Amino acid sequence: MVKQLKVFIESVGHRVVDSIWRLGYATRFILLVLLKSVPGFLRFRLITREIYFAGVLSLIIILVSGLFVGMVLGLQGYETLQKFGSESAVGTLVALSLVRELGPVIAALLFASRAGSAMTAEIGLMKATEQLAAMGMMAIDPIARIIAPRFWGGVFSMPLLAAMFSVTGIFGGYLVTVVFIGVDEGSFWSQMQSAVDFRYDIVNGVIKSGFFGVVVTAIAVFEGFDAPPTAEGVSRATTRTVVTSALAILGLDFVLTAFMFRGVS
């Protein structure tokens, strides 16, 4: 009994030590990526390529999801607000929820599962097929040539995607409430404009999505680089990217929200 307890405690300790070690390793890796980012910026085409793969190819899913999320928000918001006779405030509701929360968060979740997982799988496969080692033997640092451009491509794409998500969402809300249901168009926009503040709502939303972009791409490139060079290792790393990113996004969202909107309105 005592021995079992000891084994149990040891396994808990082992896991804790292991994950702390991994966290430190990941941090060091990301610092290394930042340090080696200069060549990527000098040859911006490398980053352009990654913006294409991370950003442009995620556009469809971001736009379609944004439209539907906005439409649902409009419908649900209208259902609730009309009970209080204030259905013209539906524009405010749609815009604020999208700009402050849903835009950055859902766009980041979609980005993690669309672009983040692809990044992990690509880097993991390059490692498994010795492409990274081959590059090293050609006297080209794979972190500077492969990892850093992908990292920055993701970091640039994320806020833009989140902004597009919010805009299509607002358009979706407009479509449902104004065009289909018939809420007054003027009050839809004017109430929205008087409630949404540029500095406190929009800029904070963009800052949020910037944070999410850094976190998601950092997780994606690290998991890819750290993946065991086997088919199973790569597939596990891909799964871990999506799961860890999702948890990180939601946790970080709470922390950022607590800092940003404390004591204001």
Partner 1 sequence: MADSPLIEFRNVNFSYGTRPVLKGVDMSMSRGQVIAIMGGSGSGKTTLLRLIGGEVSPSAGSVSVAGQTVHELSRDELFRLRRKMGMLFQFGALFTDLSVFDNVAFQMREHTDLPESMIRDLVLMKLHAVGLRGAHHLMPAQLSGGMARRVALARSIALDPMLVMFDEPFAGLDPISLSVVGGLIRRLTDTLGMTSILVTHDVQESLQIVDYVYFLADGVITAHGTPDEVRESKVPFVHQFVHGETDGPVPFHYQAQTYSQDLGIGVMKSV
Partner 2 sequence: MQRTMMDFWVGLFVMAGIGALLILGLKAGNLTDFQPEGSYRLVGNFENIGGLKVRAPVKSAGVVVGRVADIQFSTQTYDAVVTMKVDTHYQFPKDTFASILTSGLLGEQYVGLLPGGDEEMLKDGEKIMKTNSAIVLEDMIGRFLFDKASEKKDTDPKI
From the list partner 2, partner 1, none, partner contacted by residue 134 (C-beta under 5 to 8 A by kind): partner 1
In this chain, which of 33, 116, 150, 201 binds partner 2, going by CB under 8 A?
A: 201
Cβ burial, residue 181 (10 Å; 0-12/13-18/19+): middle
In this chain, which of 19, 193, 230, 239 binds partner 2, going by CB under 8 A?
A: 193
Distance CA 245, CA 243 (A): 5
Structure-token match 């409009």, residue found: 74
Q: Which residues of 102-136 are buried (b: 16+ CB within 10 A; e: fewer)?
A: bbbbbbbbbbbbbbbbbbbbbbbebbbeeebeebe
- Closer CB to partner 2, 210 or 233, in the complex: 210
Coil/strand/helix, residue 182: coil
- Binding of partner 2 by 197 (CB under 8 A): yes
- Binding of partner 2 by 80 (CB under 8 A): no
Binding mask 109-148 vs partner 1 (x if CB under 8 A, - otherwise)? -------------x--xx--xxx-xxxxxxxx----x---
- Binding of partner 2 by 166 (CB under 8 A): yes
Distance CA 221, CA 132 (A): 13
- Binding of partner 2 by 206 (CB under 8 A): yes
Query: Looking at 5-13, 73-81, 155-163, 176-184, which segment touches partner 2 (CB under 8 A)?
Result: 155-163
Length of the chain (residues): 265
Euclidean distance between the first and the last CA atom of the chain, given in angstroms as a whole number: 57
From the list partner 2, partner 1, none, partner contacted by residue 175 (C-beta under 5 to 8 A by kind): none
Query: Looking at 1-9, 72-80, 153-161, 235-243, which segment touches partner 2 (CB under 8 A)?
Result: 153-161
Closest CA to 21 of 248, 240, 226, 228: 226
- Binding of partner 2 by 52 (CB under 8 A): yes
Q: Which residues bind partner 1 (CB under 8 A)?
A: 122, 125-126, 129-131, 133-140, 145
